[in-house]
Amino acid sequence: MVNYLDLEKKYGAQNYKPLPVVIAKGEGCWVWDTEGKKYLDMLASYSAVNQGHRHPTIIAAAMDQLGKITVTSRAFVNDQMGRFLKKSAELAGYEQALPMNTGAEAVESAIKMARKWGEKVKGIAKDQCNIIVCSNNFHGRTITIVTFSTEAQYREGFGPFTPGFRVAPFGNAEALEALIDENTCAILVEPIQGEGGVIIPPQGYLKALREIATRNHVLLMFDEIQVGLGRTGKMFCFEHENAKPDVLILAKALGGGVYPVSIVLADRAIMSVFTPGDHGSTFGGNPMAAAIGIASLDVLINEKLPERAETLGNYFSEQLRKIPCPAVKEIRSKGMMIGVEIKPEFGNARRFCEALMDRGILCKETHITTIRFTPPLVITKEELDWALERITEVFKELC
Ligand SMILES: *Cc1c(COP(=O)(O)O)cnc(C)c1O
């Protein structure tokens, strides 16, 4: 029999350290390994699978589009992209949209847009724009993006880096405002930090950033790649504080777990800094991606997945908090975005993830100390109860 773990070890770049489970099939919240053992997926591919694995509506849209046309390039117009852009823009309340593929690409696109806006609209001198970001951020893995990571490993060995970024402490609006000067074109922030360990800023932070951006004539850009599209109990995380950013970046669940689809949303006054030839992507906005993007949004809307995330997420985190476990330092949650931080004296969170895996639950540690529970939003109360039983057992065993 093929040993898939060895195959990856031998032929793959070793830039990940996966749990030793080989997944061969998935449906809804469940995945099966090559031996047919069933697991509850409580990671949902870092929120790329909010709609569940192989959602029938999304698969049907993909199959239908496969039978028509898949890639056209932007040299021509296709009959899917415009509908997708309209749907995304209207849903979030923006005038225009720029389609890309991965999250990192969308963040790069937003950075380019902000800089060009800084020069052309705000009047910042050539090559002088700066952008304020936050400590403990995660926005992707390109050279420019890791430039402003505060995680040493993400940068180590990858220099030289891109100038023009300033790092403010996450959650402190006053400290962020103090870094703004006349050359600041934008603020780039995750409304809740996902990779950073499910870090929720103080109440009022997003609203304060909105006011700071307006007062200082800089663009507020929210990276909602992980926390947008229903995850936190609202379609968009900024809705919790009615703090609509000037630029909204979406990816992950926009592709419904089927295809990489990302987008940058803004009003025309900002988006229009891009003129033909300024920026592009061969696959961005291809008809396959657009058809899947439309279906992915339809599922979120029609199945009221943000509302489900709110009610069932709150139920799940309440139940988690009731489990007696001296190893738990803190449980942080917003909707179906839940982080359980383990006290360092009880070892790494990975130990817990491995024990959960043995009992049929897949999740992944983030930042060594935190177990992240972010199941597909189609998960049912019964499935959550099933998980809670096993989580309780593991907490008992490892404490
Ligand atoms: C995953 C993620 C990204 C990067 O997306 P990729 O598709 O992996 O490039 C950027 N920002 C946030 C907040 C993310 O969670």
Buried-state track 332-345, b at ≥16 Cβ within 10 A, e below 16: bbbbbbbbbbbeee
- Determine the pLDDT at residue 1: 66
Q: Are residues 163 and 239 in the same domain?
A: yes
Give the model confidence (pLDDT) of 106-154 as tens digits: 999 999 999 999 999 999 999 999 999 999 999 999 999 999 999 999 9
* pTM, rounded to two decimals: 0.98
Domain identity same for 150 and 201: yes
Q: Which residue has the higher pLDDT, 1 or 287?
A: 287
Domain that residue 33 falls in: 4-54+304-398
Note whether 327 and 335 are within 8 A (CB).
no
- Ligand 1 centroid from CA 181, angstroms: 28
Q: Is 252 a catalytic residue?
A: yes
Number of independent structural domains in the chain: 2
Catalytic: which of 252, 283, 316, 395? 252
pLDDT, tens digit (0-9, with 9 covering 90-100), for 28-64 = 999 999 999 999 999 999 999 999 999 999 999 999 9
In which residue are the tokens 């935190």 written?
Answer: 370
User: Does residue 164 share a domain with residue 190?
Assistant: yes
Same domain, 235 and 117: yes
Q: Is the dihedral of CA 258, 264, 266, 269 positive or negative?
A: negative
- The last residue of one of the domains, among 255, 287, 302, is 302
Residue 2: band (very low, low, confident or very high) from pLDDT cuts 50, 70, 90: confident
Q: How far is the CA of 123 from the centre of ligand 1 (A)?
A: 30
State the average pLDDT over residues 155-177. 98
Same domain, 200 and 296: yes
pLDDT in tens, 68-106: 999 999 999 999 999 999 999 999 999 999 999 999 999
Q: What angle do CA 392, 397, 399 make, to 5 degrees?
A: 95
Mean of per-residue pLDDT scores for the chain: 97
Query: Which residue of the set 84, 170, 222, 223 is catalytic?
Result: 223
* Cα angle: 20, vertex 21, 26; to 5 degrees: 160
Do 291 and 172 have their domain in common? yes
Last residue of a domain, one of 302, 329, 355: 302
Q: Choose the final residue of a domain: 252, 279, 302.
A: 302
Residues 313 and 380 in one domain: yes
